[in-house]
């Protein structure tokens, strides 16, 4: 078994992977909740949320060129804060968060599938988990190519929603154009920030990327910009086509957009949501297995995972373990409650990574891709504020 992954991923596939991770099934629900806070200014809230995410994304971009390793955040924290113990804790937290998130998304996706096709729930769940794990074992190019196809399907679905929204008659809320209430926009932006979580998964593919010093920052930033634009456009057509009181109380706001624009049934959105879920599960299995692979290099007790199959170029044992944990989690755990914790875990990691970059830049200013010191400082403060908000909301 080899100890190195194969560098085969280019900018296109890596960017598609990042966009697919960020644009998941969440946008199908979250846009309504953001509109409840920000009103018709929900598109602005998403733009502000993208700006909030930008400093941390830039910090990840610089670190990804300084330390292009599969362990991602664990490697950054280990180097920046000079603590391998904290590095392992961070790495295992990322694996746990990815596993729980994938389990929750898998359950939701199978739920949508049973609305479209009459299949046994448990059998479908097991079959999909095994199939996606098998794809992740088979090869990273195959995994990311399949993820790219799923991403295209998601984007087509959102494109159809945008088309329907522009065809709908503007509602009274949109026509009256009330003044901006910045407190509402701010609250909506903090909520919308969680739709951008996922860009950090890109860095864990670093050991399989061609020319990571050039490719990683570009992929992270392009994915963030593309996602921000998509979210803002979807939010725009949503608040234009559907009354705000209906949006705030709906669990399927984009279905309301479709009905407003076409007058037809929006069952096809359930099919799109299935593909969004498959994309999310596959991306998290691939990501978490790479983190385990990277941790195996840094900790002797995890060294068994620092092995890549010479034929497939994938960390088979790590992938099988993560896929198995996702399946078990989806079958036996109360993943809906656990999934709510993943945002707090990831925001805590954002704070620590930004802090680690501050220390690393003070010791060694030179890097293939550099950002000003104000960037990680802003990332730390903004991620910390979002973490406090998230904890207060959960209490």
Rounded to the nearest integer, the mean pLDDT of the chain is 89
Q: How confident is the model at residue 336 (pLDDT cuts 50, 70, 90)?
A: low
Confidence of residue 181 (pLDDT cuts 50, 70, 90): confident
Q: Going by C-beta distance under 8 Å and a sequence separation of 6 or more, which residues neighbour residue 166? A: 237, 240, 261
Q: How many C-alpha atoms does 11 have within 13 Å on its Cβ side?
A: 9
Mean pLDDT of 269-278: 86
Q: Which two tokens stand for residue 163?
A: 């088309």
Q: State the Cα–Cα distance between residues 78 and 90, nearest whole angstrom.
A: 9
* pLDDT top residue among 108 and 229: 229
Burial state string for 217-252 with b = 16 or more CB within 10 A and e = fewer than 16 = bebbbbbbebbbebbbbbbbbbbbbbebeebeebeb
The DSSP code for 312 is: T
Q: Does position 164 have pLDDT exceeding 90, yes or no? A: yes
Q: Residues with Cβ < 8 Å from 270, sequence gap 6 or more?
A: 112, 115, 116
pLDDT at 99 over 60: yes
**Gyration radius (Cα) of the chain, Å:** 20
The average pLDDT across 46-54 equals 93
Mean pLDDT, range 253-259, rounded to an integer = 87
Cα 59 to chain centroid distance, Å, stands at 17
**Interacting residues of 190 by C-beta distance below 8 A, sequence separation 6+:** 49, 52, 385, 386, 389
């Amino acid at each position: 078994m080899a100890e190195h992954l194969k560098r085969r991923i280019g900018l296109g596939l890596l960017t598609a992977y990042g966009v697919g991770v960020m644009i998941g099934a969440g946008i199908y629900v979250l846009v309504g909740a953001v509109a409840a806070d920000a009103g018709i200014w929900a598109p602005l809230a998403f733009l502000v949320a993208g700006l909030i995410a930008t400093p941390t994304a830039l910090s990840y971009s610089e670190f990804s060129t300084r330390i292009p390793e599969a362990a991602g955040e664990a490697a950054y924290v280990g180097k920046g804060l000079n603590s391998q113990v904290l590095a392992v804790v961070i790495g295992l937290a990322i694996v746990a968060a990815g596993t729980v998130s994938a389990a929750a998304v898998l359950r939701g996706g199978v739920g949508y599938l049973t609305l479209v096709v009459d299949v046994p729930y448990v059998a479908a769940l097991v079959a999909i988990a095994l199939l996606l794990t098998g794809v992740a074992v088979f090869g990273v190019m195959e995994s990311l190519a399949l993820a790219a196809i799923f991403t295209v399907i998601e984007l087509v679905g959102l494109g159809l929603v945008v088309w329907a929204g522009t065809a709908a008659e503007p509602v009274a809320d949109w026509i009256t154009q009330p003044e901006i209430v910045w407190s509402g926009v701010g609250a909506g932006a903090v909520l919308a920030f969680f739709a951008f979580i996922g860009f950090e998964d890109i860095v864990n593919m670093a050991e399989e990327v061609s020319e990571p010093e050039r490719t990683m920052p570009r992929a992270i930033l392009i994915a963030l910009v593309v996602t921000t634009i998509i979210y803002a456009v979807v939010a725009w057509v949503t608040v234009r086509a559907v009354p705000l009181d209906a949006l705030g109380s709906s669990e399927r706001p984009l279905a309301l957009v479709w009905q407003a624009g076409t007058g037809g049934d929006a069952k096809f959105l359930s099919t799109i949501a299935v593909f969004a879920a498959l994309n999310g599960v596959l991306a998290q299995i691939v990501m978490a297995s790479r983190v385990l692979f990277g941790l195996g290099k840094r900790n002797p007790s995890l060294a068994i995972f620092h092995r890549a199959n010479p034929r497939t170029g994938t960390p088979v044992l790590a992938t099988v373990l993560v896929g198995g944990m996702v399946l078990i989690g989806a079958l036996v755990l109360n993943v809906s409650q656990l999934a709510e914790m993943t945002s707090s875990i990831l925001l805590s990691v954002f704070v620590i990574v930004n802090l680690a970059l501050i220390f690393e830049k003070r010791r060694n200013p030179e890097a293939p891709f550099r950002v000003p010191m104000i960037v990680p400082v802003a990332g730390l403060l903004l991620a910390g504020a979002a973490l406090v908000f998230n904890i207060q909301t959960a209490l």
